[in-house]
Structure 1
Amino acid sequence: MQPLAKAYIERLDTLAAEIQESEALQAYLEEEEEEQYMELKEAFEPRIAEIYDEVAGSHPLQLIDLETLLLKPEFEGLYLPKILGFTVLRGEVHAERMKYARPQDHFKEVLLAICNSANFDLLRKRIGQSIQMGFALSSDIWVTNLINAIDNKRVRYFLQGQKLERYRLLEERVLGYQRYQRQFRSDNFMSAEFPQSLSELKVLYAQLKRFLLFRVKGGYDNSSIIPHLKAFVENKEFQGHREHMEVMVLFALFFDLGEDDRAHLSKHFNAIRKDTAGFEESYFDYLLELHLSEDVTIAPEADKLMSEVVDHSIEDELSAYYGLMDVIHGKGYTTEEAQEAVKHFYMRREGLSVINECVRQTIYGYFARLVKNLEVADYPELFEISKLYPAYISIFANQQFNQLLKELSLEYVGKLLKKYTDKRGKDYQDIKKFVSTTFQDLGFLKEKEVVEMFKTRRKRKKADA
């Protein structure tokens, strides 16, 4: 975590003064009606949100300090319901139990600020679901202690009413958390603390990893994080641990580094690579995890960046793998030269090995990016793309790879059949001919399944009245 930059503090101070001097606040204090508070909210929350989004976008490690400053009474509780929701979702949750891994002190801090606000009666209308979810993910003892810390009986009763009995069931907590997450899917609120010791690494890593993946997926400006990542890479206490390797991989694959920073990373990466037993196995295990993840995409550009970090003079599986990636991405996966290189590499290793699965995922990624980005009108391109399927199906001889290609292609064909419904039209007939021949040749569909796909559905006649 970092303290909020002086420029942001000055903007907040100015905004707080404007809120206190505003006619909207004076009207609310005189009337004490919800309508006046809503006018205050509409006038100033967008400006708070603007500052929040700037910090979240470019300086995410300053978010907690920003949120703490917004707890001041001068801000009249504005934007706090939103922040409370962020604190609920920011916590690390154990998937098996759907409970927080650690007590969420910042959630408690924000909630207590709302409970002690002069505007609590209005704010309470916007925080019920957040409290319910935060309490459901926390331990009963922690929740009880929090509620007992409140002096106001009316507020205590309100909080006690947010402990829902149904969330005692694991399946209800899972469903509730999923529903709650969807409300914030377009918000940027993730932050993290970089560990400074090995004990902190084990405690804080899951949240740090989630934060880094979030930043990569969102395509945010990560320049403010790079100095912290470099310090993490340099930390000798961390080197050789799985968590350290994973951060180096994310750093290399997805962060925009200058020449000096990439050389710095390469120096540490290759030194650790040589000195750590089992490094290659751990590396490819994690690379496969990233390939299968929905959070990131290992595009050719990412492989090229990683290849620049890898010292190819070291004779090991990383050099062999990224030598192959250089051929695939440089020559093009459609070329015979690349296909021969893949075949040579693949045949020298066990078919079900992790490193071979990474190769299959790389090739599948090319097909997936092409097909998923095809417009319906571009369906002839699928005809051309599918001509490459047999070469890689033959090389890999892997049923899972075949199934992925099948599902990818059928999903696109499904879109085509929704668009082209005229069974006598040229488009429909071209698609039918393609599927009937190619999909059967590839083993994607049996003749009976093709017939069923293109069978005319009879409309039921309406019964006579």
Structure 2
Amino acid sequence: MYELDADYLDQLEVIAGEIQDSEELASYLDEEEEEHYLRLKEMFEPKIGMVYDEVAAKDPLQLIALETVLLNPLFEGLYLPKILGYSVQRGEINDRYKYVRPQDHFKEVLLAICNSANFDILKKRIGQSIQMGFALSSDIWVTNLINSISNKRVRYYLQGQKLDRYRPLDARQVGYHRYQKQFKSDNFHSTEFPETISELKVLFSPLKNFLIYRIGSRWDNTSLIEPLKNFLENKAFQETEEYLQIAFLYGSFFDLDEENSKHLSKHLNKVRTGLTEFDAKWLDFILELHKREDIELDPQADLRISALLDKKVKDELTEFYNLTDLIHNEGYMNEEVQDAVRVFYSRHQGLSVINECVRAVIYGYFARLIGNLEEKSYPDFFEETKLFPVYMSIFANQKFNQDLKDLSMAYVKKLLKKFTDKRGKDYQDVKKFVSTAFVDFKFLKEKEVVELFKTRRKRKKKQEA
């Protein structure tokens, strides 16, 4: 666990002092009325939240340390219900929707709440988090946790949160995703960087997903650079596929100064020439990221990696990134680029991984443009589709063609929702284009085009007798 910076500790110390000196707390201790505690919550939880949000944005590796400080009784249990929810979601789950490892931090936070003098009030805000945390944990782990509590009343309460309805897999899955939605806009993600091979195997998946989250959310990731450099320097990791993937994410998506770029380039090229089938594993990871919805492998990412690689090494990566440099710098609409793609593609088997990566790069351009087009910009869509036959001919790949069809159909359906006047110019332009082009592309048959633009009569409601 990473230590909390002194500045954050000072801010929390001030808040704790204000809580203990407040009239609201004095009134609550005197009268023990819930309304006084709620006033305490309204006054101080926003202050705690401001510190929490700052740490989450700038120093996410310190979040667990921050949450541990907030377990101190001086904070009177404030913010702990939120922290409990965060701890439930941080745990890595398997395909059975069970935690891969016991969640000690969830246990630590829950026990702090159970031992709080304000438990009777706090328990009104934690039921769903406990139910979900227990559902994702093993029965033995939950039983041991409950039995560790000496207070019978608290123990009975916890036993009541262990629900039979979450025993079936599908119920846990639905419940978990419904629970996640409550925290969709909250930033609470943290991770640990491994230091040994055994830790790497255990911590890699959470670390990888954490980095992808941070990349996709566009947070300030400056605080992650030093631990990432330490990771790269760990010789024990340098012959693992996990090392390759972390180096890829770091190199593709972090804006590095000259010193850090040279540091990464040195380690990356060293491993590149020493790890068996490095280029094949690298290309496999490119495809994995292209297929994920929570990260976009854009041209800038390709260019960052290309600048790090030693092009004197004659392998598939040099070949691939020389091509992507040309595509990104000259443009996929350029005829010379199209010729280069055709030559490159013909030198490899059609279903090879490297060719699939090339298709993904080209499709990415179509997807970014068409996926972001507004309805009024449909002439740009018409223009863009002129390139479809070019790349469909080069690749001769059914999956690529299907992806273009799905992308185009989604945009056309958006247009038809916008332009509902069937006699209007916009509607007629779209209909005329689709009727010709989509048939030529073999996206639709003529009968399917007719069906797409067919006027559907609304059923008349039966008159009451």
TM-score range, shorter chain: over 0.9
- 1:112 paired with 2:87, answer no
- Distance, in Å, in 2 between the alignment partners of 1:348 and 1:328 is 17
- Distance, in Å, in 2 between the alignment partners of 1:373 and 1:39 is 46
> Equivalent residue for 1:180?
179
> Equivalent residue for 2:16?
16
> Equivalent residue for 1:272?
271
Using the aligned pairs only, state the percent identity: 63
> Equivalent residue for 2:5?
5
Superposed displacement of residue 207, structure 1 = 1.1
> Equivalent residue for 1:198?
197
> In 2 relative to 1, CA 104–464 (structure 1 residues): closer, same or farther, beyond 3 Å?
closer
- Distance, in Å, in 1 between the alignment partners of 2:460 and 2:202 is 66
- Distance, in Å, in 2 between the alignment partners of 1:155 and 1:463 is 59
1:83-115 Cα deviation digits (max 9, x unpaired):
0011000011112x2111111111000000000
Q: Partner amino acid for 1:389?
A: F
Q: Which stretches in structure 2 are left out of the alignment for 5+ residues?
A: none
- 1:237 paired with 2:251, answer no
Give me the TM-score of the superposition, normalised by structure 2: 0.98
> Equivalent residue for 1:128?
127
- 1:365 paired with 2:375, answer no
Superposed displacement of residue 169, structure 1 = 1.1
> Equivalent residue for 2:43?
43
- Distance, in Å, in 2 between the alignment partners of 1:51 and 1:259 is 32
> In 2 relative to 1, CA 190–462 (structure 1 residues): closer, same or farther, beyond 3 Å?
closer
Superposed displacement of residue 240, structure 1 = 1.2
- Distance, in Å, in 2 between the alignment partners of 1:210 and 1:460 is 49
Give the secondary structure class of the aligned counterpart of 1:4.
Answer: coil
1:322-373 Cα deviation digits (max 9, x unpaired):
0000000000011101111111111111111111111111111111111111
The equivalences for 1:152-163 within 5 A come to 152-163=151-162
Q: Partner amino acid for 1:19?
A: I
- Distance, in Å, in 2 between the alignment partners of 1:199 and 1:210 is 19
1:122-162 Cα deviation digits (max 9, x unpaired):
11011011101111111111111100111110100000001
> Equivalent residue for 1:297?
296
Superposed displacement of residue 462, structure 1 = 3.8
Superposed displacement of residue 412, structure 1 = 0.8
The equivalences for 1:250-399 within 5 A come to 250-399=249-398
Q: Partner amino acid for 1:315?
A: K
Q: Partner amino acid for 2:357?
A: C
1:256-309 Cα deviation digits (max 9, x unpaired):
111111111111111111111111111111111011111210111111001011
> Equivalent residue for 1:406?
405
Q: Partner amino acid for 1:38?
A: L
- Distance, in Å, in 2 between the alignment partners of 1:37 and 1:464 is 59
Superposed displacement of residue 30, structure 1 = 2.4
- Distance, in Å, in 2 between the alignment partners of 1:75 and 1:14 is 11
The equivalences for 1:82-93 within 5 A come to 82-93=82-93
**Aligned-residue CA RMSD in angstroms?**
0.9
> Equivalent residue for 1:74?
74
List 4+ stretches of structure 1 deviating above 6 A. Answer: none
1:421-453 Cα deviation digits (max 9, x unpaired):
111111110000010001110011100000001
Superposed displacement of residue 31, structure 1 = 2.6
> Equivalent residue for 2:423?
424
- Distance, in Å, in 2 between the alignment partners of 1:24 and 1:412 is 56
Give the secondary structure class of the aligned counterpart of 1:237.
Answer: helix
> Equivalent residue for 2:414?
415
- Distance, in Å, in 2 between the alignment partners of 1:165 and 1:381 is 55
Give the secondary structure class of the aligned counterpart of 1:78.
Answer: coil
Give me the TM-score of the superposition, normalised by structure 1: 0.98
1:391-412 Cα deviation digits (max 9, x unpaired):
0111111111111111111111
Q: Partner amino acid for 1:74?
A: L
> What is the aligned length?
464
- Distance, in Å, in 2 between the alignment partners of 1:460 and 1:166 is 41
Q: Partner amino acid for 1:75?
A: F
- Distance, in Å, in 2 between the alignment partners of 1:389 and 1:188 is 40
- Distance, in Å, in 2 between the alignment partners of 1:185 and 1:341 is 44
Superposed displacement of residue 374, structure 1 = 0.7
Give the secondary structure class of the aligned counterpart of 1:251.
Answer: helix
Superposed displacement of residue 39, structure 1 = 1.3
Q: Partner amino acid for 1:324?
A: L
- Distance, in Å, in 1 between the alignment partners of 2:225 and 2:411 is 40
- 1:60 paired with 2:60, answer yes
- Distance, in Å, in 1 between the alignment partners of 2:394 and 2:260 is 38
The equivalences for 1:438-457 within 5 A come to 438-457=437-456
